[in-house]
Amino acid sequence: MTKGKISLVLRLLAVGSTAAAIAIMVTSHETAKVLNLSFNAKYSNTSAFVYFVVAEAIAGGYSLVSLLLSCMMPARRLVMTMDVVIAMLLSSSISAAVAIGQVGKKGNSHAGWLPICGQVPKFCDQVTGALIAGFVAAAVYLILLLCSLHSLLALKP
């Protein structure tokens, strides 16, 4: 396989994994009743999950645009630079979402926050699935970045 084909496959994989992460996270919601009070758990209740969805959408959109740009020789440096930006964006959004997910799963005894995954297990399972798809997207971007660096350094005399 040539470097161009590898890049194409990786970018298509990035589009698929970001789309999966968005679809899973956006459809995650569940209602629970605790002490005669009902509450609705959904991704939009937490700013870290909203940030995760927006970052995944930006990464997926960029992946589609970069499919066209990566073929053009003068744009290779721009594509590599944007790959770095997208990889860091995905990394930060996943970190924020995992931190909130951990609080939801384990709670925080120091702050007095109780875990909620016992009451809304379907919601927590979907969030976990979205985070796994997000990790796949971040890993793909890391590999893309390494391939871009290799290609750029191979062009230098």
Tens-digit pLDDT profile for residues 110-131: 887 888 888 888 988 999 999 9
Domain that holds residue 113: 3-29+45-154
Question: 10 near 4, Cβ under 8 Å?
Answer: no
Residue 138, in any domain of the structure: yes
* pLDDT (average), residues 76-84: 83
Residue 55, in any domain of the structure: yes
pTM above threshold 0.75: yes
Domain count, the chain: 1
Residue 38, in any domain of the structure: no
Residue 115, in any domain of the structure: yes
Residue 40, in any domain of the structure: no
> Mean pLDDT score of the chain, rounded to an integer?
86
Residue 39, in any domain of the structure: no
pLDDT of residue 1: 64
Q: For 58-111, give the DSSP string.
A: HHHHHHHHHHHHTTSGGGHHHHHHHHHHHHHHHHHHHHHHHHHHHHHHH-BTTT
pLDDT of residue 7: 83
Distance of CA 18 to the CA centre of its chain: 6
Spatial distance between the Cα atoms of 75 and 89, rounded to a whole number of angstroms = 21
With a cut of 60, say whether residue 156 has pLDDT above it.
no
Spatial distance between the Cα atoms of 94 and 53, rounded to a whole number of angstroms = 10
2 vs 74 pLDDT, higher one: 2
- How confident is the model over 32-51, as pLDDT tens digits? 777 787 878 888 889 999 99
Residue 89, in any domain of the structure: yes
pLDDT of residue 72: 64
Residue 76, in any domain of the structure: yes
